[in-house]
Amino acid sequence: MKQLLFLTAIYVFLATACQNEQSVHSDDPATAEETSLPEMSVYHLPGTWTNQDGQEFELKELKGKVLVMVMIYTTCKAACPRLIADMRRIEELVPEKYGDDVQYIMVSIDPETDTPERLKSFAAENDMTDKRWMFIRSTPEYTREFATVLAVNYKRISPMDFSHSNIISVFDPQGEMVYQQEGLDAKHEKTIKNIVEQAKKIGNR
């Protein structure tokens, strides 16, 4: 069911993008590269993101690595610390030889509070300053679009708190979702298996 929702969301966004960009130059190298991506790749999604170092980028710039993503917010005191712990445990369990092929990404659902400075501080507080860890934010609109694609629901329930889905998503090097781990303190075996399977494809290991 989650996979169906993911495919539906991607289809809607791509259809909208195609209508808006039919006049864009077909010989543009960037456009040609995008058309070479799988139809359901998240790298087709529009929008600019900012990481904890204040650097702006587009999702397609992450192409070529296995992505492990979770949506959180830094002022969360309940579920998010456990999701962070799950991400740390997954990173520890992935064999070291695949370490540089995997990017672990925390996506803020509260971009108004989670400035780059706040994300950088949060990364340091959690000892997640290695290059494998990225903390990113975008506009509320792009964040909501991305959450829809991941089938992550969230809603502000107070000035400082959100209710939200607890889902860790794995994407292949071309940006297609291959697996989702749902719930807190879930078993990680299938998640690790999917990460390793995708990492093996990088460099034909």
Question: What domains, with CATH codes, occur in the chain?
Answer: 2-204 (3.40.30.10)
CA angle at 128 for the pair 126 and 129, rounded to the nearest 5°: 125
Q: Where are the alpha helices (DSSP H) in 21-152?
A: 29-35, 79-93, 116-125, 140-149
Q: Are 60 and 43 in contact (CB under 8 A)?
A: yes
- pLDDT exceeds 60 at position 17: no
**Tell me, what's the pLDDT at 25?**
43
CA angle at 28 for the pair 27 and 29, rounded to the nearest 5°: 105
Range 8-28 average pLDDT:
47
**Tell me, what's the pLDDT at 36?**
85
CB atoms within 10 A of CB 50: 20
- pLDDT exceeds 90 at position 5: no
Q: Which residues are annotated as a binding site?
A: 76, 80, 164
Across all residues in the chain, what is the average pLDDT? 88
DSSP state letter for 130: S
Q: Which residues are annotated as a binding site for Cu cation?
A: 76, 80, 164
CA angle at 123 for the pair 119 and 129, rounded to the nearest 5°: 125
Of the listed ranges 29-33, 109-113, 120-124, 131-135, the one predicted with least confidence: 29-33
Rounded Cα distance between 186 and 167, Å, is 10
**Tell me, what's the pLDDT at 84?**
97
CA dihedral 148, 150, 155, 156 (to 10 degrees): -110
DSSP state letter for 98: G
Q: Is 80 exposed, middle or buried (0-12, 13-18, 19+ CB in 10 A)?
A: buried
- pLDDT exceeds 80 at position 32: no
Range 30-49 average pLDDT:
82
- pLDDT exceeds 50 at position 20: no
The distance from CA 6 to its chain's CA centroid, rounded to whole angstroms, is 13
Contact residues for 146 (Cβ-Cβ < 8 A; gap 6+): 42, 45, 47, 71, 107, 138
- Structure tokens belonging to residue 110: 């509260």
- pLDDT exceeds 70 at position 33: no
The values of phi and psi at residue 136, to 5°, are -130, 160
**Tell me, what's the pLDDT at 159?**
87
- pLDDT exceeds 50 at position 22: no
pTM: 0.84
> Band of the pLDDT at 23, cuts 50, 70, 90?
very low
